[in-house]
Structure 1
Amino acid sequence: MLINEPNRHHDEHDRDHPKGDTDNRDNVYGIGFGIADITGPAVEINMMGYAHFGQDGGGIHTRLYSRASIVVDGLGNRICYVNVDLCGAPQLAKTLVIERLHLALGSRIYTHENLLISATHTHSGPGGYFQYFLYIITTEGFNKQSFYAIVDGIVESILKAHKSIKSGRIYYNKGDLLDASANRSPASYALNPKEERERYEYNTDKTMYMLKFTDLQNNPLGMINWFAVHCVSMNNSNHLVSSDNKGYAAIKFESNFNGYKNVGKGPFVAIFSQANEGDSTSNTREPICINTGEKCDRITSTCGGKNEYCVSFGPGRDMFESTKIIGHRQYRKATELFQLAERRVSGPIAFIYQNINMTKRLVTLEDGTEVKTCSAALGHSFAAGTTDGEGDSHFTQGTTAGKESKLFDAIRNLLKTPSQESVECQKPKAILLPVGEMTVPFRWTAEIIPTQILQIGDVVIVALPGEFTTMSGRRIRNDVMQMFRHHRLKKEVILAGLANTYTNYVTTFEEYQLQRYEGGSTLFGAYTLDAYREQYKYLTKKLIEKERIPFGEQLPNFLEQEFSLKPGVFFDHPQSGHEFGDVLIQPLTSYTPEQTVEVKFIGANPRNNLRTDRSYLTVERFYDSVWEVIATDGHWETMFKWERKNIILGTSEVTIVWNIPKNCTKGVYRIRYFGDGKSLLGKITSFTGTTQSFHFFRHRSRSSPDTDHPNQKHHEDDEEHCSSDAACDIDQF
């Protein structure tokens, strides 16, 4: 790997990268942004996140996107930062993305070393895209539709960013956001040394970090921010694809620049990235026992010994409102930081990368003691789930070695008995699944882990390959900052979570001892964090010294071994007496603000056509003698729901919901459904269904209080928001 090596490969798109001072002391960079759809199959595929059998997709609330940003310095050195609306960043997808980019642009432009892919950690997207067996059990195996939708979308977003590169400037800002997160394992956090805890005011990271990108005329090009909070506002009862709170914030932010109709189209791109969110939840209300109303047990998160009764909730009345509120709070803070960002980023682009084997890795602690990591294993506490989403009722958080169920140990042994070495190494974890020793049908979890640091002038981005808890992330950040300070360099250090692969959780040694969910999910044992700290200090040192380091072991590729037990679509058939697209339930003749339009059609399976970068629905307004589209299935106020009626007959129905924003323009509207039916012979035919038109009458109210919930926020300039260019505005749902 070459540190800060000039990129010798140039093409026609490099003409806009800045020339002149190679140190970028003039603060000018080449900047590009791109966005593309990665939604994938919206129905019948189990959602990735809660590992909840039965939580299969049933439609779309918001689409999922890949958002890419590229920064180039005066020497042509570049980095590419990609954020995806996924539960985690699949390492195999990154490998294929790089192969595709090499074919399109040559092998020296984007590589494992300078491309970072981070995930928002939404729990409401179709799964089946990881190559490791553990993560595709609930999806009945590997899902090619899901996987290739992700690969295609990431590539497209990067190519769009690459083609859009122009000279510009970058600004840095940061500030605290206090009301959008809470610690879901405060008992674990409290085990960290008192003197360490006293250095921080909060038990979650409340700081939002921001990079603002403009062209040389100060026109906004894009934005990236990082804030640590789980995307679990949508709970495990949800069946609609959703980008959750960070996706809501991104859509809302982008609409300010692109117009509300252009969801997912750019050109302005807003990236709401993840950080060290391992113990940071968006369900900000304290967990309670839903059967009694009392507080849950602090250690086990149980109520009378049962984990399913202990639940934490978001600030809203339901999961949709909670998603809006937490998303709006991130949007609001990001807007403030964006508007006030004045500090210019300056200096060269650099990057460093290395794959490491985290199994049985020797680590030297600060006191000189030599320890090692373990073969990967998941504990009994892992199976208990969290207050964000309960696991199996037979398990509880806080279960340590010697206190586990012997019955489940016996059942486990039918799959794989953990080695004695692993049992001893992982203590006090009570091993439920020795995943590092399980290789049938192929590896269950990753052991070769990518580690990476990107540098944009005086800003450093550390790629964390998993879910690091608050204090784990703080230790990594402090280590990197201290390394720079030791060399008399001042850098702003940002953590990018869930980057380049997925390795479950990383706790501190102290947090690990309690074995709550996060500790039970720390794969490589009690010294996992210490191994990562040692590695990131090494990377930082070599980055500063501009030294070459080995690439490390090659990343595995199990694509040829992947399989699926999930059947495809057999065929579709309309119900007797109907055609595809027939309207079963028409809209009313008229509506007023904040009412809900709900219509139903004869449908077909959406897996026949993913309609990538398109839509299964449109809400249209008759304006100037034509029907104009004012909302799609990517807009927050719409819902696309698909329901199988009879699997033998192949019948299904589609329900489309439009929650009318209160500032919509009066006029005549209609709703259309776009589907694709599959015949018994396998031929797929597109069709369209259209409702009768209906009227929307506007009645303005000036009595709404101005609170921080967007549903209640009132705008004095409503009429200005209701132009023909944007019939409805996201500020008003």
Structure 2
Amino acid sequence: MFPIYLVCVLTLFSVPCVHSANYLIGAGIYDITGPAAEVNMMGYAMLGQLTNGIHLRLFSRAFVIADAQNKTRFAFVSLDACMGSQSIKLEVLKKLKGIYGSLYTAENVAISATHTHSGPGGYLQYVLFDVTSLGFVSESLNVIVDGIIESIRMAHDRLQPGNIFFNNGTLLEANINRSPSAYEFNPDKAHYEYNVDKQFVLLKMVDEQGHGIGMINWFAVHGTSMNNTNGLVSGDNKGYASFLMEQYMNGNGTIPGQGSFVAAFAQSNLGDVTPNTRGAFCADTGLPCDYNHSTCNGRNELCRGIGPGKDMFESTAIIARKQFEKALELYSSASVPVTGPVDFRQAYLDMRNYSFEVEGKTVHTCPSAMGKSFAAGTTDGPGAFNFIQNDTKDDPFWDIVRNLLHDPSEEQVKCHYPKSILLDTGEMHEPYDWQASIVDTQLLRVGQFVIAPVPGEFTTMSGRRFRLAVNETLKAAGFPTNSQVVIAGLTNTYADYITTFEEYSVQRYEGGSTIYGPHTLNAYIDHYKKMANDLATGHPTPQTTAPKDLVDVQIPFPRPVLFDSHPFGKHFGDVNKDVNGSYKANETVVVQFWSGNPRNNYMTNSTFLTVEQLQTNGKWKVFRTDAFWDTKFHWAHTSALSGESLATISWDIDATVPAGSYRISHFGYHKPLFETPEPFNGTSSIFKVVVSP
């Protein structure tokens, strides 16, 4: 018999052997893909960027952590979505109260997002963010809320004794700074080796026997590997990294969302951090863009960041795989146990006029406003017209346009200086508020590890200053010397960007999008230090007034699906273009079906397609669905007037696919006029995958 210590050492992904569990842990995952057609994507603010199919399904990943006595708990949720929002959290809390009473509340539930720019939009409750969707999209909100509830329910039901381990490391070549000229204005830059965070922080969760329950990691990089020409729903680099980790832990070929191990690649201080690691270049000349303004011949439209790959799909895969490989390395070597209480603090913070002292001087925040440089966009997604980054000048034409909406007061202009205000959102309330004025702030503690959910996108240096201030406050109040603070970005509320005071003065895109004025960062630091002290000393944080729930006053836009049709002599699910007879590795199978609108049924926790493999017993086995990386489901009307549409399904065959007989099936719902949608399906001819000579 092996000595017990050798058993521990030799076990795959071993953890230090323990005799008792420190925590109760549960993990859950649920589909939140939503409307995969005709809905504006959230992130790039492009009117014409509508969903038209699926590359990767989107998921809500929930983790419930309680102390061993089951007295205190919190739920951390990571969404494959552009951002968390007050509308989402407020609706989730209503439903959780109906199921669990007072067990899950605003204080102990955090809803964070990975910041993919390739998911359906229209779910935020403020006007500015629904403009490109031409209104609120209840379809988007409802599927996200329902998916969060189901993932939390699953995590709650799976709660079991276990232990948590912590690890961190450095991940290179997966992110760069897209606004380096602004970063250089920070006087503390000399304290750091890189102008973006390369820190990769991971929590490993296992049961009493050391078997994996799940993992959460935090790494700062934008979800913009997929660019603004994309129409396929995708979790971008973090969504694909989660897919890779879950496939590895649950077994390759496991249907995504159905395995027991849940892996969240959560977001951190990504504000000025891009995955387009080759830099920004002019599309017309191939030369680097202007360093200070990110322009080409004085205009921003042609300046674009370039990823590490030959196209957006390859770039997404490269950045995702780097995160996956680092996560696997840190997960397998994680050995520092997390020990100590489970606790949390939360407060709603009114950012319209938050006053505090900085170096003996009283300063305050401002009602929200967006600067002209915000409209210039970034190298990940350039804006339009004649806006440029690093622009603090007034423009008579745009000032007239702005004033037609709302002329900012003299006090507001002074408060936001040197920002040149384009949209005075904090003073605009018709038809309802344009941006958040009250934000949701929070701290979650498990032992010496503290998660700081924040309501926006902190830049690199903002995040560094914030983490340092919170960690120093915790330690000064009695926290362990090995305590760790991580920022969970885009959580609970979306209140845009948070730059340093120095970066704000430069007014790049991030500065123009820092909505509460130049003292925004220091206001958050001041407030979170108070919450951190309360957390460390065991004092309650005073409760404040929650923001209004505006869901019931939203103005919806998307027109309903009236009807679907097909050409005379055809049926829904009939093949329009069939497969070839055989394929080899590195070839792509393409088949096309007469279809119905994907909005008729989102096929939640199901699929619009299957690739099926013929077994030796003559039965067909599902080999792929629309949640796999190597499949694509694309939908388009052939005639919007007639209601006819086609679904094009493709499957990229790689060298790991076994030889054999396969077929592709398409599933969906079609809507007869004045009737409820009805299911249909269709199947391609059988084809062979052959081994290359």
TM-score, structure 2 as length reference = 0.96
Question: Which of 213, 235, 245 is 2:205 aligned to?
Answer: 213
Which residue in the other structure is 1:535 paired with? 527
- 1:602 is paired with a residue whose SS is strand
Aligned to 2:3: none
Counterpart for residue 59 of structure 1: 53
**2:673 matched residue in structure 1:** 680
Shift of 1:27: 5.5
2:21–2:161 contact (8 Å) kept in structure 1: no
| Structure 1 Cα separation of the partners of residues 85 and 644 of structure 2 | 34
Is 1:291 the counterpart of 2:281? The answer is no
Q: Residue 234 of structure 1 aligns with which residue?
A: 226
Please name the residue that 1:448 is paired with. 438
Q: Secondary structure at the match of 2:301?
A: helix
Structure 2 counterparts to residues 506-655 of structure 1, below 5 A: 506-623=498-615, 624-655=617-648
After superposition, where does 1:146-545 map in structure 2 within 5 Å? 146-193=140-187, 196-259=188-251, 260-365=253-358, 367-400=359-392, 403-489=393-479, 490=481, 491-545=483-537
In 1: Cα distance, 2:116 partner to 2:229 partner: 14
Q: Distance in 2 between matches of 1:600 and 1:645?
A: 12
Partner of 2:14: none
Which deviates further from its counterpart, 479-488 or 55-64?
479-488
Q: Which runs of 4+ in 1 moved over 3 A?
A: 24-27
Percent sequence identity over matched residues? 47
Contact 2:21 2:208 (8 Å CA) reproduced: no
- Counterpart AA for 2:368: A
Structure 1 residue aligned with 2:12: none
Q: Structure 1 regions of 5+ residues with no counterpart?
A: 1-23, 701-733
1:129 and 2:119 matched:
no
- What is the alpha-carbon distance in structure 2 between the residues aligned to residue 168 and residue 313 of structure 1? 43
- 1:237-290 Cα deviation digits (max 9, x unpaired): 000000000001000000012222321112100000000000010011121112
Deviation at 1:554, TM superposition (A): 1.6
Structure 1 contact 463–497 (Cα < 8 Å) conserved: yes
| Cα offsets for 1:303-340 (capped at 9, x unmatched) | 11110111111100000000000000000000000011
- Show CA shifts across 1:111-150 (max 9, x none): 1101111100000000011111111111121111111000
Tell me, in whole angstroms, the C-alpha distance in 1 between the residues paired with 2:56 and 2:112. Answer: 19
Aligned AA (2:78):
N
Offset at residue 106 of structure 1 (A): 1.9
- One-letter amino acid of the structure 2 residue matched with residue 119 of structure 1: A
Q: Secondary structure at the match of 1:149?
A: helix
**Residues 25 and 303 (structure 1), Cα distance of their counterparts in 2 relative to 1, 3 Å cut:** farther
CA distance in structure 1 between the aligned counterparts of 2:87 and 2:571, rounded to whole angstroms: 42
Moved more, 548-557 or 214-223: 548-557
Deviation string 1:364-419 (CA, Å, 9 cap, x unpaired) is 11x1110111110000000000000011132100110xx23210110111111111
Query: What's the CA shift for 1:671?
Result: 0.3
User: How many matched pairs?
Assistant: 671
1:487, distance to aligned residue in structure 2 (A): 2.7
Contact 1:119–1:274 (Cα < 8 Å) also in 2 = yes
Which digits, 9 at most, give the CA deviation of each residue in 1:222-251, with x for residues without a partner? Answer: 000000000100000000000000001000
Q: Shift of residue 485 of structure 1? A: 2.3
Report the secondary structure of 1:679's partner residue.
coil
How far is 1:26 from its partner? 5.8
* Matched residue SS, 2:61: strand
In structure 2, what is the Cα distance between the partners aligned to 1:574 and 1:370? Answer: 68
Instruction: Give the residue type in structure 1 aligned to 2:53.
Output: G
Q: CA deviation at 1:488?
A: 4.1
Per-residue CA deviations over 1:79-123 (Å, capped at 9, x if unaligned) read 11100001000212111212211211222x111101111100000
Q: How does 1:53-92 map to 2 (within 5 A)?
A: 53-75=47-69, 76-92=71-87
Equivalent residues of 1:93, 1:150 under 8 A apart: yes
Task: Give the stretch that moved more between structures: 433-442 or 485-494.
Answer: 485-494
Q: CA deviation at 1:675?
A: 1.4
User: d(CA) in 2 for partners of 1:69 and 1:342?
Assistant: 20
Distance 1:487 1:150 in 2: 38
Distance 1:519 1:656 in 2: 42
| Deviation of the 1:545 alpha carbon | 1.4
Asked whether the 8 Å contact 1:263–1:634 carries over to 2, the reply is: yes
TM-score by length of 1: 0.90
Cα distance in structure 1, aligned partners of 2:459 and 2:591? 44
**Contact 2:371 / 2:423 at 8 angstroms: preserved in 1?**
yes
Provide the residue aligned with 2:649 in structure 1. 656
One-letter code aligned to 2:296? C
Classify the secondary structure of the residue corresponding to 2:279.
coil
Q: Distance in 2 between matches of 1:25 and 1:178?
A: 37
2:137: which partner in 1? 143
Structure 2, unaligned runs of 5 or more: 1-17
Moved more, 159-168 or 674-683: 674-683
- Opposite residue 452 of structure 2, the aligned amino acid is V
User: Would you say the 8 A contact 2:308–2:318 is kept in 1?
Assistant: yes
Partners of 2:447 and 2:377 in 1: how far apart?
Answer: 41
Structure 2 residue 681 is matched with structure 1 residue 692: no
Q: Is the 8 A contact 1:27 1:170 kept in 2?
A: no
Tell me the amino acid that sits aligned with residue 110 of structure 1: Y
CA distance in 1, matches of 2:476, 2:446: 19
Match of 2:6 in 1: none
CA distance in 2, matches of 1:377, 1:394: 20
For residues 453 and 106 of structure 1, what CA distance do their matches in structure 2 show? 22
Q: Is the 8 A contact 1:248 1:327 kept in 2?
A: yes
Contact preservation (8 Å) 2:477, 2:537: no
Q: Secondary structure of 2:200's partner?
A: strand
Question: What amino acid maps onto 2:336 in structure 1?
Answer: R
Shift of 1:65: 0.3
What is the alpha-carbon distance in structure 2 between the residues aligned to residue 27 and residue 543 of structure 1? 23
Task: Report if aligned partners of 2:82, 2:114 keep a CA contact under 8 Å in 1.
Answer: yes
Q: Which moved more, 1:607-616 or 1:71-80?
A: 71-80
Which amino acid counterpart does residue 567 of structure 2 have in structure 1? Answer: Q
Distance 2:273 2:328 in 1: 22
Please tell me the root mean square deviation across aligned C-alpha atoms, in Å.
1.2
